[in-house]
Amino acid sequence: MDTPAAVFAAVFVTLYTGHQVGDHWVQSSCQAARKGDKGRAGRWACTRHVIGLTATKGALLIPAALLLDLRLSVLGVALGLAVDAGTHWWADRRVTLARLARLVHKGEFMSLGTPAHPHHPTDAKGLYAPTLGTGAYALDQSFHVLFLFVASLLVAAI
């Protein structure tokens, strides 16, 4: 599998899989709840999450590279994972991504599915009905996928 396009495709699928597993299965409940907190505790929770996430991606990338005969450079892998980890940490601090959403006029969308949204989901009595499908989650995940794309380009091209 020599072509850069094939390497990119294999790396992207692998990193996307690692992202899904690392962001949802490896991340602890404490990390998920605390990673957006102010101060040292929030930064440390986010850092622990990103370490586990990046380790998961690396743990999947190694066998994929070996079994698929992907010719990856150490520099490309290191740079790709570093960009992915850094941007993931930035977005998962929450306030940063919320500021970006407001800056690009996505603040209302970010509140979709929460009581803060003017058209939040309700039950039969008109009370807030919790949902897992929020605008904040959609913006968070799409931001991460954008940088998985960038990371995959770096890994494949370097």
Can you give the pLDDT of all 158 residues of the chain as single tens digits? 579 999 999 999 999 999 999 999 999 999 999 999 999 999 999 999 999 999 999 999 999 999 999 999 999 999 999 999 999 999 999 999 999 999 999 988 888 777 776 676 777 787 776 666 788 899 999 999 999 999 999 999 99
pTM of the entire structure? 0.88
CA dist., res. 68 & res. 33, Å (int): 37
At position 94, the amino acid (one-letter code) is R
Domain that holds residue 97: 4-157
Domain count, the chain: 1
Residue that the structure tokens 């850094």 belong to: 86
Q: What tokens does 58 get?
A: 């690396």
